[in-house]
Amino acid sequence: MVLDGLVTITLPASKPGGPAPQLELNAPALPLLPEMPPQRPLPNRGSTVFHTPPSQPAPQTAPVRAHLVQIRRDPNVVPNSALPGPSIGPPSPCRLWANPHPNPRYFGEGNAKHRGNTGHLSHSALLAAAEYQDPLTYREAMQSEQANQWQDACQYEINALAKNGMWTLVDLPMGRKAMKSKWVFKQKADGHYCARLVAKGFMQIQGIDYDETFSPVARFESLRLILALAVLEDWEIHQMDIKSVFLNGLLEEEIYMEQPEGFITPGQESKVCLLKKAIYGLKQASCAWNLQFHGVLIELSFTRTYSDAGIYVYRCQDVGGTLIIILYVDNITIAGDSLKHIKELKALLSSQYKMTDLGEIDSYLGVNIMHNWLVKLLDIDQSCYIQEIVNRFRMLDANPTHTPLPSGTETHLVKYEEQASASEIRAYQQVIGSLLYVQIGTHPDISFAVSCLVQYTSNPSPQHM
């Protein structure tokens, strides 16, 4: 190695036994040579698997090109892709998964025969559903290939309304205007044809056709509190669903509606329907139902709480005990310390309305509820709803973060100087609305992030999205 400073060079001796001459030179300082990095240890060939011999180069492979994936036509085989029609490239990661906890209101003996052996719709059925469109008007339904099925569905709806005593035919008083109605058609996923008669409520006049429209519902805070009490006190929690809930509300106003299209009574074409009960589409339909059900619960000695108008409490004076009802439109949740009292309450309510007993609670408005009685643990989450949000707004490829608002967002959360389009504003508002529902339900930890983003709903920028 060469060092900085004086360099001494020793030459061989000129005479035998004589001293070796020395030559001194003042050499300039030379830089130090960099040290070589240590070599990486060679892998152990005994434990290394070579796909190609080390002495030969790897063969060059042709680039993989997109190709058409053949559609499976076998109805007993679940397709890889949940989207109808051919797909380009590898199969989509989205698959049709079976629901481990099917809702009894949609999955039952009545529609099980329309499904495959695996519980899924076949790919051909999905293709047919994608190409099929429900009729928008009564005339379009009667001119379609399924005219007989739609006619039977409409007749079933008319018979149900007549059985429930929805209206009487009268002459239209002077100075009054009859409201129009509309048929809404929908073919269910199981192939069932459904028709609903809906009133055109936008024709109602405030102060004449309706006054009050507000209908209180239970709050999520009350639900979480009652669920916590149920776990601590070992209460039973059951659910019930009321069929055609709005058709049970009694009307106080005089509302006149034209006779339904296609079902005008012969010889009484000039008469109109005087509604006795609320019908779908009326502005006060929800309020009328809430008042009617409130009266029934008051007769059963229930008391409405002051803090939440959707919570009713009943205390058994004889044997002691408590029953709590959580009301959210047509969804009724019953919590109590006695299963016997809960069954008695179910029988009383079933005698008043057409109801579906859903048994023990497992979900509530998109919130999954899992109860472990052995360890007194109740878990609630909105994982399915959150996954739907991610799929709906195409955020499957988004990178996760450890905090709701990552660092550096203050540079993006600024007022947008330009004007966003109507479609961008609508999409941003839908995202914020979905996040608000998650925040209120089970994720208060994103409250600050949502409150920051909600300030830009009127004019969002591309950075906000």
Cα–Cα distances in angstroms (integers) from residue 179 to residues 274, 320, 344, in the given order: 10, 51, 42
CA distance 309 to 365: 18
Local mean pLDDT, 10-residue blocks, the chain (465 residues): 49 52 48 52 52 50 50 49 39 44 46 43 54 82 90 91 90 90 86 89 87 89 90 90 86 91 90 92 91 92 92 81 90 90 91 88 87 83 88 83 76 77 87 90 88 85 74
What pLDDT score was predicted for residue 115?
A: 39
β-bridge pairing 256-257 and 272-275: antiparallel
The reported pLDDT for the residue numbered 415 is 80
Cα 320–227–330 angle (5° rounding)?
A: 90
Rg, the chain, Cα only? 37
Position of tokens 């429930």? 164
pLDDT of residue 175: 86
What pLDDT score does 363 carry? 86
Tokens 């009301």 belong to residue? 327
Is 6 within the bounds of a domain? Answer: no
SS (HEC) of the chain? CCCCCEEEEECCCCCCCCCCCEEEEECCCCCCCCCCCCCCCCCCCCCCCCCCCCCCCCCCCCCCCCCECCCCCCCCCCCCCCCCCCCECCCCCCCCCCCCCCCCCCCCHHHHCCCCCCCCCCHHHHHHHHHCCCCCCHHHHHCCCCHHHHHHHHHHHHHHHHHCCCEEEECCCCCCCCECEEEEEEECCCCCEEEEEEECHHHCCECCCECCCCCCCCCHHHHHHHHHHHHHHCCEEEEEEECCHHHHCECCCCCEECCCCCCCCCCCCCCEEEECECCCCCCCHHHHHHHHHHHHHHHCCCEECCCCCCEEEEECCCCCCEEEEEEECCEEEEEECCHHHHHHHHHHHHHHCCEEEEEECCEECCEEEEEECCCCEEEEECHHHHHHHHHHCCCCCCCCCCCCCCCCHHHCCCCCCCCCCHHHHHHHHHHHHHHHHHHHHCCHHHHHHHHHHHHHCCCCCCCCC
Q: What is the residue type of 284?
A: Q
Please count the other Cβ atoms lying within 10 Å of the Cβ belonging to residue 38: 6
Q: Domain range spanning residue 430?
A: 383-456
- Summarize pLDDT for 53-71 with one digit per residue, the tens: 444 455 555 555 544 444 4
* 377 occurs within a structural domain: no
Which residues lie closer than 8 Å to 81 by C-beta, 6 or more apart?
69, 87, 91, 92, 94
The rounded distance, in Å, linking the Cα atoms of 92 and 82 is 8
Query: What's the predicted TM-score (pTM) here?
Result: 0.63
Alpha-carbon torsion (140, 146, 152, 156), positive or negative: negative
Residues 144, 157: Cα–Cα separation, whole Å: 19
Are the C-beta atoms of residues 356 and 362 closer than 8 Å to each other? no
Which pLDDT score, from 0 to 100, does residue 314 have? Answer: 92
pLDDT at 320: 67
pLDDT for the residue numbered 46: 52
> What's the structural domain count of the chain?
1
Residue 326, beta-bridge partner list:
311, 333
Quick one: tokens of 166? 């929805």
Say if 295 falls within a structural domain.
Answer: no
- Is residue 401 included in any domain, yes or no? yes
103 falls within a domain: no
Residue 209 inside a domain? The answer is: no
Residue 141 lies in a domain: no
Q: Domain for residue 33, yes or no?
A: no
Q: 289 burial class (0-12, 13-18, 19+ CB within 10 angstroms)?
A: buried
The rounded distance, in Å, linking the Cα atoms of 151 and 268 is 21
Sign of torsion, CA 265 271 275 280?
positive
Structure token digits, residue 246: 């709005």
